[in-house]
Amino acid sequence: MLNICKNCGSNQIRVTDSREKRDHIYRRRDCIKCKAKFSTREISEQEYKRIKKIEADFIEQVRNFTKKLDADAQQRFFDKIIS
């Protein structure tokens, strides 16, 4: 959620800066209640879908890779990426 403070949960967020970048819009936000500062990046629907697709393809590749491993090797693989 872009308009909820991650610190206090307030929805009184103010945008203090907004910058258009090459592939996204960067916004600096301030919580009016607790003064926490954070930033968000807004990307286009098209760009979002493109990134999601890359992510899904990557997960698929990892799945296919681990399928070829035996149970012990799978365990070692997951232990390694979790730690």
Tell me which residues touch Zn ion (CB under 5 A).
5, 7-8, 10, 31, 33-34, 36
Q: Which is nearer to Zn ion, 11 or 66 (CB)?
A: 11
Alpha-carbon distance of 2 to 67, in angstroms, equals 37
Q: How far is the CB of 32 from Zn ion (least distance, A)?
A: 8
CA distances from 21 to 10, 27, 54, 80 (A): 28, 10, 21, 36
Alpha-carbon distance of 77 to 79, in angstroms, equals 6
Q: Which is nearer to Zn ion, 24 or 33 (CB)?
A: 33
Q: How far is the CB of 38 from Zn ion (least distance, A)?
A: 9
Q: Which is nearer to Zn ion, 28 or 33 (CB)?
A: 33
According to DSSP, the residues that pair with 15 across neighbouring strands are 29
Q: How far is the CB of 27 from Zn ion (least distance, A)?
A: 16
